[in-house]
């Protein structure tokens, strides 16, 4: 099929590359000329495992190309995906200005029947709004479909190629058939395409992300109780997750959720609820708990060293909001670093992929270390903020010798507390008792 994907960010680039891999002719459009020029030179603007290979193969086989020319892309395509950002506005609502701008441009460019697919995460009613905007620009027939994307950064290709489900929001069975056909190469394992009305599809995405955020905040609160009563959250998690009704996913306490999706989608669902006269109370607490959780490592560091950290150096392992991505949007590391700097500490940070993005946030205010052990040299403590695989099994001897003081604040519970303490580290986890005999 002939496809245009408008917005070539984390989602659009993955969707475009994967659809091209599925045999379609895909034109990816972005209004950021630098990004498009870079992509045309083979430079991938984000870190996503496997993406570079996929883009390179599909561009060289001429199923995938990049342009700033939206008109040309729309005219050449039957299906037009909108995959632009929907950042939170001042009041928490999803800001639809990019979506509306693209819908307007699509309407102007249309030269015949088109299917416009909302891939961006958008509030209930946006499919209708996009249809209104396009009708204002064209006489040509079209349909608007809501097709929320559930990919996870860091595993985006796998998620798109082997989705748990594909949600198609349309009231027209013929359009549903075309969309099913488009996704059929990715659903050979029998995972479902769920066709529903556009409003339900739009809400499904928010409800799913809000549920996942709720599980994270719930476990962060369980961890806080564990610390107070002398229980170990790792054991509690095993006990809980073994219940099939609960399962193990998203049961890990940590330093709070971040990224471009959970924080904004939780806010947007709260706003939609308020707009319809309903106060989504659980989500208020989910947010409050998460904001507090982003401070948890700092609080532990201050509890150990006192509030004045001048003269102290803290090493950070991990800057991105989660492993296998360079994305630092709403990352807990940002809150921790700002608080450490405000308390007078020096920060030396390592991350396998996020250092370029971190530089745009912190500039010269922190030191960047391309090797993880270098960050430890002379530091008074290590704070593990992101659970990148390379941090899981370090050489603990090298670690202990490099640190000025063998103190570890493990924000992701990646180490065994008993073993750490036996090796001479002073170890602090999340929801882990300080008494080693119960760890």
The string over 2-34, giving b where at least 16 C-beta atoms fall within 10 Å of a residue's C-beta and e elsewhere, is ebbbbbbbbbbbbbbbbbbbbebbbbbbbbeee
| 374 burial via Cβ count (<10 Å: 0-12, 13-18, 19+) | middle
What is the DSSP code (8-state) at residue 186?
G
Question: At its nearest, how many Å lie between ligand NAD and the CB of residue 317?
Answer: 23
Question: At its nearest, how many Å lie between ligand NAD and the CB of residue 101?
Answer: 4
Between 69 and 299, CB nearer to ligand NAD: 69
Between 28 and 408, CB nearer to ligand NAD: 28
Using alpha carbons, select from 308, 302, 355 the residue that is nearest to residue 333. 355
- List all residues 6 or more positions away from 393 whose beta carbon is below 8 Å from its beta carbon: none
Question: At its nearest, how many Å lie between ligand NAD and the CB of residue 401?
Answer: 39
Using alpha carbons, select from 219, 258, 220 the residue that is nearest to residue 241. 219
Between 154 and 318, CB nearer to ligand NAD: 154
Question: At its nearest, how many Å lie between ligand NAD and the CB of residue 94?
Answer: 7
Site residues, ligand NAD (CB under 6 A): 6-12, 29-32, 35, 83-86, 98, 101-102, 120-121, 149, 151, 153, 260-261
| Cα 287 to Cα 280: distance, rounded to the nearest angstrom | 11
Between 88 and 253, CB nearer to ligand NAD: 88
Between 124 and 343, CB nearer to ligand NAD: 124
Q: How many CB atoms lie within 10 A of CB 434?
A: 14
- Catalytic position from the list 18, 28, 261, 369: 261
Question: At its nearest, how many Å lie between ligand NAD and the CB of residue 114?
Answer: 16
Question: At its nearest, how many Å lie between ligand NAD and the CB of residue 426?
Answer: 36
Q: What DSSP letter does each residue of 77-144 carry, written as one string?
A: -SEEEE-----B-TTSPBP-HHHHHHHHHHHHH--S-EEEEE-S---TTHHHHHHHHHHTT-SS-EEE
- List all residues 6 or more positions away from 409 whose beta carbon is below 8 Å from its beta carbon: 297, 300, 301, 381, 382, 383, 384, 428
**Is 189 within 8 Å of 195 (Cβ atoms)?**
no
Catalytic status, residue 261:
yes
In the bound state, the residue with its beta carbon closest to ligand NAD is 9
Please give the positions annotated as active site: 261
């Amino acid at each position: 099929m002939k496809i245009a994907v408008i917005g070539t960010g984390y989602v659009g680039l993955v969707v475009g590359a994967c659809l091209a891999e599925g045999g379609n002719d895909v034109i990816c459009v972005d209004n950021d000329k630098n990004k498009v020029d870079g992509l045309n030179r083979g430079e991938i603007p984000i870190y996503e495992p496997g993406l570079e290979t996929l883009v390179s193969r599909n561009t060289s086989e001429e199923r995938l190309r990049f342009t700033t020319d939206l008109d040309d892309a729309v005219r050449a395509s039957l299906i037009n995906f909108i995959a632009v950002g929907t950042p939170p506005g001042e009041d928490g609502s999803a800001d639809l200005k990019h979506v509306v701008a693209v819908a307007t441009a699509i309407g102007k460019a249309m030269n015949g029947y088109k299917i416009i697919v909302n891939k961006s995460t958008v509030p209930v009613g946006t499919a209708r709004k996009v249809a209104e905007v396009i009708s204002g620009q064209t006489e040509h027939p079209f349909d608007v479909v809501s097709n929320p994307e559930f990919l996870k950064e860091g595993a985006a290709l796998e998620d798109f190629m082997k989705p748990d489900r594909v949600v198609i929001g349309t009231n027209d069975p013929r359009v549903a058939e075309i969309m099913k056909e488009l996704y059929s190469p990715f659903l050979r394992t029998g995972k479902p395409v769920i066709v529903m009305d556009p409003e339900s599809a739009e809400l499904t995405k928010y409800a799913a992300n809000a549920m996942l955020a709720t599980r994270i905040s719930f476990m962060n609160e369980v961890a806080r109780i564990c610390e107070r009563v002398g229980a170990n959250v790792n054991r509690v998690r095993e006990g809980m997750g073994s219940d099939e009704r609960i399962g193990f996913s998203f049961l890990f306490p940590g330093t709070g959720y971040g990224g471009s999706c959970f924080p904004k989608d939780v806010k947007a669902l709260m706003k939609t609820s308020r707009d319809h006269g309903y106060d989504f109370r659980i989500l208020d607490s989910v947010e409050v708990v998460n904001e507090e959780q982003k401070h948890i490592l700092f609080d532990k560091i201050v509890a150990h060293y006192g509030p004045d950290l001048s003269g102290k150096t803290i090493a950070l392992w991990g800057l991105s909001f989660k492993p296998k991505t360079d994305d630092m949007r709403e990352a807990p590391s940002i809150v921790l670093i700002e608080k450490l700097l405000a308390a007078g500490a020096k920060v030396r940070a390592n991350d396998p992929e996020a250092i370029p993005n971190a530089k745009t946030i912190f500039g010269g205010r922190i030191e960047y270390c391309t090797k993880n052990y270098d960050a430890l040299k002379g530091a008074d403590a290590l704070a593990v903020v992101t659970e990148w695989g390379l941090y899981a099994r370090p050489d603990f001897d090298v670690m202990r010798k490099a640190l000025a003081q063998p103190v570890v604040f493990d924000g992701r519970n990646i180490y065994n507390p008993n073993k750490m303490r036996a090796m001479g580290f002073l170890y602090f986890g999340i929801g882990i008792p300080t008494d080693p005999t119960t760890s």
